[in-house]
Amino acid sequence: MAEIGPNTRLRVSPFYEATVREGVTGFSPYNKMLMPVSYGHPQAEYERLLTGVAQWDVAVERQVEIKGPNAAALAQILSVRDISKIEFGMGRYVPMCDHRGVLINDPVLLKLEEDRYWFSIGDNNILLWARAIAAERGIEAEIEEPDVSPMALQGPKAEDVVASVLGDRVRSLRYFGFDHAEINGIPLIVQRSGYSKQGGFELYLLDGSRGSELWDIFREAGQPFGIGPGNPNPAERIESGLLSFGGDTDDQTTPFEVRLGKYVNLDLPDEVVGIPALRKHHAGGLKRHLVGVKLEDQNQRPGHLRWYDVEKNGTRVGSMTNGVWSPRFGKTIGYLLVTTDVQPGDRVEVLREDGRFAGTVSDIPFY
């Protein structure tokens, strides 16, 4: 049997041993690490997330730290959303674009101090990007990837579990609000956040040598609440309308096309990478957009391996980016990145390797 495993170029999560003990059955490479993507019980993993609490190794969400007197200026140059009003101890969902106005990441930006920010990034080499932009603009700043590894607790009972370990003060955190914490001498940042719409927290481990300990503390505390392992859940995230950068986007995708326009401030100065191009895209009008689709196909199939062509009235209109069996709807649902004439209610056909599948376009989110 061939295997993919950690090596010196495919870095090990501090929670790796813990996830192996939990019975992880699949990984996906992400930010030169491995992200658990299955524990072999998709139905139970989904149920836990919607009704209880799930524990996720999301250490692949690396932090790019920007530090020094120019940190705020550089962080703004890298973000197409106005970050000037973020308070200490708060985060914001902040799209990043290249000079063409094409989305290159959708991080959560955390403001730690006046002179210190973290971009909590999705899958792309933002460390390289941030250093290159800083150097080319002659901006001096410390730009590093610190030893910080998020673990998520997601689901309606996550708050009770986190409060039972870190105290009731976590209950008063606002969405994306965060604070320092410590348990058994393990340094953490705790934030109300996470890649689901079921509520929850992320615990940013600040000492990579203590991943198993941290995992077990929350695993133990979660027993009365039925905690179990999971991972960013494709069914829940599509039902809820969350974007997967790189999964639902290609090398042409602007934030406007994928419903992130409300996080773009076109009146930011021209020096912000992507803003001049985004103004042009905005003036030119939207040509593609992301919409939902429900397929007639009643068979539960594994997730997409690639994008599939989509036709409306026999003409190709774009692609189906991701699709998944939805327990909520009892059908395959997914996203289409298609021309803007394709609207909710329209009938389309998706050309998969196993056949043509008819479906109906719907709004995002699905419920």
CB distance 295 to 335 below 8 Å: no
- Of 50, 96, 151, 242, the residue at the interface with ligand THG (CB under 6 A) is 242
193 forms part of the interface with ligand THG (CB under 6 A): yes
195 forms part of the interface with ligand THG (CB under 6 A): yes
- Closest distance of CB 14 from ligand THG, Å: 15
Q: Give the whole-angstrom CA distance, residue 32 versus residue 108.
A: 19
Peptide bond into 365 cis (omega under 30): yes
In this complex, which beta carbon is closest to ligand THG, that of residue 70 or of residue 231?
Answer: 231
Q: Give the whole-angstrom CA distance, residue 291 versus residue 184.
A: 46
Tokens at residue 148, please? 């910080």
- Per-position x/- string for 120-139, each x denoting binding to ligand THG as judged by CB under 6 A, each - no binding: xxx-----------------
321 forms part of the interface with ligand THG (CB under 6 A): no
| DSSP string across 18-47 | HHHHTT--EEEEETTEEEEEE-S-HHHHHH
- Per-position x/- string for 327-356, each x denoting binding to ligand THG as judged by CB under 6 A, each - no binding: ------------------------------
The residue range among 10-18, 103-111, 129-137, 280-288 that interacts with ligand THG, by the rule CB under 6 A, is: 103-111
- Of 22, 45, 159, 202, the residue at the interface with ligand THG (CB under 6 A) is 202
366 forms part of the interface with ligand THG (CB under 6 A): no
230 forms part of the interface with ligand THG (CB under 6 A): no
- Find how far residue 145's CA is from the centre of its chain: 18
107 forms part of the interface with ligand THG (CB under 6 A): yes
The burial of 197, by beta-carbon neighbours within 10 Å (0-12 exposed, 13-18 middle, 19 or more buried), is given as: middle
- Of 14, 52, 155, 194, the residue at the interface with ligand THG (CB under 6 A) is 194
* Non-local CB neighbours of 12 within 8 Å, separated by 6+ positions: 6, 33, 34
The residue range among 72-80, 117-125, 166-174, 272-280 that interacts with ligand THG, by the rule CB under 6 A, is: 117-125
* Non-local CB neighbours of 160 within 8 Å, separated by 6+ positions: 53, 225
149 forms part of the interface with ligand THG (CB under 6 A): no
- Closest distance of CB 116 from ligand THG, Å: 16
- Of 41, 93, 144, 177, the residue at the interface with ligand THG (CB under 6 A) is 93
The residue range among 77-85, 115-123, 207-215, 302-310 that interacts with ligand THG, by the rule CB under 6 A, is: 115-123
* Non-local CB neighbours of 320 within 8 Å, separated by 6+ positions: 293, 304, 307, 308, 309, 310, 334, 335, 336, 350
Tokens at residue 103, please? 């989305």
Q: How many residues bind to ligand THG according to rule CB under 6 A?
A: 15
CB distance 203 to 214 below 8 Å: yes
Give me the residues that bind ligand THG (CB under 6 A), please: 58, 61, 93, 106-108, 120-122, 150, 193-195, 202, 242
